[in-house]
Homo-oligomer: A and B are copies of this chain.
Amino acid sequence: MMSVRSTSWRNELKSHIRGKSLVFLLADSNLPDSYSKDIMKVCKIKNKTHLHKIKGGEQIKTHQHLIKIYNELDAVGADRKSVVICLGGGTISDLGGYAASTYKRGIDLIILPTTVTGMVDAAIGGKNGINLESNLGILKNQIGTFHQPKLIGIDFNWLNSLPKDEVKSGWGEMLKHALLKGGSHLEQFKNTEPNLASLTPLIIDSGNIKEGIVRRDVKENGERAILNLGHTIGHAIESLALDSSNGSEIKHGIAVAWGIVFTLEVSVRKMGFNNTLAKELIKWIIDIIGYPEKMWGSEEIWLKMCKDKKNTNGNVKDVLLRNPGDADWCFTWEREEFTILWEQFRERYELTSC
């Protein structure tokens, strides 16, 4: 997999869409209109174009929304030589990428990520997906494919319209990459304020960490699984938030950061991760993300963990850290031990328990 990310991509975009029968721009309607207008202008010079706006968020990653996109692609005459461009955050590229990979058995995809999470994580590596509504509630990214984008175009100016909680969510994914990399990158990241202006210069580096891992293991037969650091718990928390009757949403990166706090605690016990360092890292993380109002119980979390895509043969797998920069993706949970450790964790951090 060659790097397809670029910060000076407008000419590349033009060359990618040259001769395409149709450009189907799937854009997040939360974004300022000027963003999609700008892209439409670039595309319209030589191409038939269609703009399809959809309000981004985890709630769009359903078969219902997917089928709407298929029908729209069909209605505007998209064929195998058409291209889908996703302009938005990870939920837009997850849904749009999956649609592109399955419409007429796969058409070209370009991703223009407009969030920090999108730029450092979601757009990179070709994974896409939608959630499955099961008897157990919503299961994150259970349905999807690997479909590499032809181009990932990054424009830091897009981040200016990003809500603060989205910046913090992006920080959570950057935290994950920093812990997976360790060394001077982690030090630099720890010394970076979690605001947009300070984080922006680190975005390309953070994406490079993911890209390096993906390049060595595109289809996640092994090492790529370390990118799930904090995600076993993170996905469980996200799914439970989506299931809850008030439909409250916990941002992906925040859920991951909580997963990482738990992972650090467990890594001390199970992997000999340095206790002093773990405490220091946890304090730093919580200073940034704050304490959760409420945390789900071990029973609910466990049921979601049982559906994690990493699991095999009924074993609940997780990623732990021996040191920063040294992850183990083969840890297997025993339910009893998980219950004890999770309930301790919950008591320690849940605001209502404090």
**Which A residues are within 8 Å of any B CB, using their own CB?**
21, 63, 67, 70-71, 74-75, 77, 79-81, 101-106, 127, 129, 132, 134-136, 139, 141-146, 219-220, 306-307, 309-314
B145 touches A101 (CB 8 A): yes
Which residues does chain B contribute within 8 Å of A103, judged by CB atoms?
A: 142-143
The oligomer's copy count stands at 2
* A134-B74, A314-B77 as given contacts; A145 in contact with B105, CB under 8 Å: yes
Determine whether the beta carbon of A314 is less than 8 Å from that of B142.
no
What separation, in Å, do the CA atoms of A106 and B101 have in the docked complex? 13
Interface pair A144/B102, CB less than 8 Å apart: yes
Residues from chain B with a CB closer than 8 A to the CB of A144 are: 102, 104-105
- Establish whether residues A79 and B313, one from each chain, have CB atoms under 8 Å apart when the complex forms: yes
Contact in complex: B81, A313 (CB < 8 Å): yes
Complex Cα gap A134–B307 (Å): 33
Asked if A71 contacts B135 (CB within 8 A), the reply is: yes
Please, could you name 26 A-B residue pairs with CB atoms under 8 Å apart, sorted by A? A21-B313, A63-B67, A70-B132, A70-B143, A71-B134, A74-B132, A74-B134, A74-B142, A77-B314, A79-B311, A79-B313, A81-B312, A101-B145, A102-B143, A102-B145, A103-B142, A104-B144, A104-B309, A105-B127, A105-B141, A105-B144, A105-B145, A105-B309, A106-B145, A106-B146, A145-B145
- Known contacts A102-B144, A105-B146: does B134 contact A312 (CB below 8 Å)? no
Name the residue among A70, A104, A106 with the largest chain B CB count within 10 angstroms: A104
Closest Cβ of chain B: how far from A142's Cβ, in Å?
A: 6
Note all chain B residues with C-beta closer than 8 A to A75: 134-135
Q: Smallest distance from the beta carbon of A138 to chain B beta carbons, Å?
A: 11
B309:A80 contact, CB within 8 angstroms? yes
A81, A135, A143 interface centre (most CB from chain B within 10 Å): A143
Closest Cβ of chain B to A46, distance in Å, is 12
Identify the closest chain B residue to A21 (Cβ). Answer: B313
A202–chain B nearest beta-carbon distance, Å: 29
What separation, in Å, do the CA atoms of A143 and B102 have in the docked complex? 5
Closest A-B pairs by Cβ, 9 of them: A81-B312, A21-B313, A104-B309, A105-B144, A74-B134, A79-B311, A79-B312, A102-B143, A21-B312
Q: Which residues of chain B are near A132, meaning CB under 8 Å?
A: 67, 70-71, 74
CB distance from A168 to the nearest CB of B (A): 28
CA distance A310 to B127 in the complex (A): 26
Q: How far is the CA of A129 from the CA of B102 in the complex (A)?
A: 9
Smallest Cβ-Cβ distance to A132: which chain B residue: B70
A80 — which chain B residues lie within 8 A by C-beta?
309-312
Contacts of A102 on B, CB cut-off 8 Å? Answer: 102, 143-145
Measured in the bound complex, the distance between the Cα atoms of B97 and A105 in whole Å is 13
Complex-state Cα separation, A14 to B128, whole angstroms: 32
Question: Which B residue's beta carbon lies closest to that of A129?
Answer: B105
Complex: A77 Cα to B136 Cα, angstroms = 12
User: Please, how many angstroms separate the alpha-carbon atoms of A80 and B314 in the complex?
Assistant: 11
Q: Report how far A306 CA is from B63 CA in the complex, Å.
A: 25
